A = this chain, B = another copy of it.
Amino acid sequence: MLTADRLSLNTATVKEQWNLAECIDGAARHGLGGISPWRDKLQEMGVDAAAQAIRDAGISVSGLCRGGWYTAEGALTQSVLDDNYRAVDEAATIGAACLVMVVGGLPEGSRDINGARQIVRDGLAKTLEYGRKAGVPIAIEPLHPMYAGDRAVVNTMSQALDLCDELGDGIGVAMDVYHVWWDPDLQAQIARAGKSRMLAFHICDWLVPTSDLLTDRGMMGDGVIDIPGIRAAVEATGFDGLNEVEIFSAETWWKTDPDDVLTTMIERGRMC
């Protein structure tokens, strides 16, 4: 059972309804423990203004979404690196627990997934170096294999943790049940991550059927993921961060009154 103060609102969950100021206010009004902004919302509000509003609201920041996308220009360009340095700075300014990395898919026109993975590795090394100086942990988010083509070529916990082992301190994983629930190796990899590498934990649900690869995630309890089982494994590592709710839902939750979305999140959290 998760109480409201153990939940964090990822702004993507109400992205069509609320700007960041409204998300901060809503999270505080509903008694949530924190928030996790996407960068577009953060920049729209202004990073310093957002940092102040978050402090005033007395909530924490479970992550900043997102850095990464290293493959966007087909090679590791300075502009891609610079955008990630800015993301680190923004994460530091708002006191985010980590910068969540969606690493990028195959470059346009490419079929070279191994090459893309090498670009990602090199990019993460650069961002990590900068993140260490800024005191911002870098959290690789392994994305579901159905996004390997267009969003992220890091697709399992095992692969993400291999990268962490290679790159050293200051880097870990942001684990979303949506991306990893199917993995036969999940329990072992959660244990392998341990408290030091488990930087963020995201929850939502996998709907059956799923009507869209990107925008048909479910509210906790509406799908087939054993969230309490996965959460127990995560907490067994010593993880004591927030449970961040990130739901892309074009047809349901993005069309619902956002206060009702938060009320539902809190109700369903009690069953997680």
Identify the A interface with B (CB < 8 A). Answer: 105-106, 110-113, 117, 144-146, 148-150, 153, 155-156, 158-159, 181-185, 206, 208-210, 213, 223-226
Contact = CB atoms under 8 A, between A and B. Distances in A.
A150 B208 contact: yes
A128 to B, nearest CB: 20
A101 B149 CA distance: 26
Given A144-B145, A146-B145, A226-B113, A184 B206 contact: no
Contacts of A158: 184-185
Secondary structure at the A interface, as helix, strand, loop or mixed, is loop
A224 B181 contact: no
Given A146-B145, A150-B208, A210-B213, A182 B113 contact: yes
A159 B156 CA distance: 14
12 contacts: A106-B208, A106-B224, A113-B181, A145-B183, A146-B210, A146-B213, A149-B206, A149-B208, A149-B223, A158-B185, A159-B184, A209-B213
B225 A182 contact: no
Contacts of A223: 149
Contacts of A159: 184
